[in-house]
Copies of this chain bind each other. A is one copy, B any other.
Amino acid sequence: MHHAPARTLTQGDQAVYTALFGARFAPQCSAEFARKLGFATAPLDDLLVFHTIFGKTVPEVSLNAIANLGYADCRFLAPVFPGDTLSARTEVLGARENTNRESGIVYVRSTGTNQHGAPVLTFVRWVMVRKRASENEVAGPQVPTLPKAVAPGALNIFPPKAFDTQNRNQSGGPRFFDDFRQGERIDHADGVTVEESEHMMATRLYHNTARVHFNAHTERQGRFGRRIVYGGHVMSVARALSFNGLENAYFIAGINAGRHIAPCFAGDTIYAWSEIVDKAHGTKDWGLLRLRTLAAKDRSCADFPDKSADGTADPSIILELDYWVLIPRV
């Protein structure tokens, strides 16, 4: 499946994204800082790229899906700059029928490429969809084998230059790769309230047309009685909040897994915290931190709300995201 039309992302899109989320990571905010890493100018936010590719796939993949169940093997393959034009295509990896025979789960891999045909992002997701007719025969379940986490060696370290230690005080935070320890937990401190117009503007920016986000008239009769915030909005809020404590985690290198544990609605205030799940050496200059970031609503994350022993999540938790970030080692 080729998802048309393509989308040229500009400085304007980045500015709207900044106004909506307030991300402050230095390479995306400062063209001067980006140039010190060897980029021609400031690259776009990784999640703006992710949401744009994801949004392109919605009409053909998930417009009428019952649920968006998970992500795996998401890798950011090349930086995207203002002026780049992104296209998306998707291949079906497999499917299995639910026991009710009325719905099933479909596994797809989507890939985004730039105007030069170079891939910039790839990820697998699986969605629950209705079958055309319950009596239809379906071939036996074909569930693809997916990595529980992206192996560090499969991640792309794309800053052309090493981080210059003379820039240590240019990024807003003092802690680099060697300063973090596995198992450490970080409260991202701030809470941000989401508004209807904000999540709709963001979601439209990505050309994501899923109806539950935009139509108060039908959602009044829907499952929750109101519009549902695009799950990716919570990811972007949590990523922006994570600057508090992870100021030097400049890039998302890959996403291992993601779960939207509960829906988010306008009026909810989002908080987040992260655990350093793993550390891996990328190159001699760059390290990789594997983060597990949890976002909660209407509840401070100062005490790190989490799953209990039986796997039940704290009722305030709305997102669990497992991903790799790229951070200078010095």
Complex-state Cα separation, A206 to B209, whole angstroms: 25
Residues from 26 to 58 in A contacting B, C-beta threshold 8 Å:
26, 29-33, 42
Contacts of A192 in B (CB 8 A): 200, 214-215
- Inter-chain contact B16/A30, CB cutoff 8 Å: no
Residues from 113 to 164 in A contacting B, C-beta threshold 8 Å:
115
- Inter-chain contact A204/B20, CB cutoff 8 Å: yes
Q: Is A68 an interface residue (CB 8 A)?
A: no
- Inter-chain contact A19/B16, CB cutoff 8 Å: yes
Nearest Cβ distance between residue A328 and chain B, in whole angstroms? 14
Contacts of A104 in B (CB 8 A): none
Contacts of A207 in B (CB 8 A): 22, 24, 29
- Which of the 9-residue segments A4-12, A287-295, A319-327 touches chain B? A4-12
- Inter-chain contact A269/B15, CB cutoff 8 Å: no
- Which of the 9-residue segments A94-102, A169-177, A251-259, A306-314 touches chain B? A169-177
Complex-state Cα separation, A197 to B25, whole angstroms: 22
Nearest Cβ distance between residue A242 and chain B, in whole angstroms? 13
What string of 1s and 0s marks CB contacts (under 8 Å) between A165-206 and chain B?
A: 000011110000000000000000011110111101110110
- Inter-chain contact B16/A16, CB cutoff 8 Å: yes
Pick the 7 closest A-B CB pairs, nearest first: A12-B15, A22-B204, A217-B269, A5-B26, A12-B12, A195-B197, A6-B30
13 contacts between A and B (CB under 8 A): A5-B33, A5-B171, A7-B30, A8-B29, A8-B30, A10-B15, A12-B12, A13-B15, A16-B18, A19-B204, A32-B115, A195-B195, A195-B200
Beyond A13-B18, A16-B16, A32-B85, list 4 extra A-B contacts (CB 8 Å).
A12-B16, A18-B205, A31-B115, A216-B269
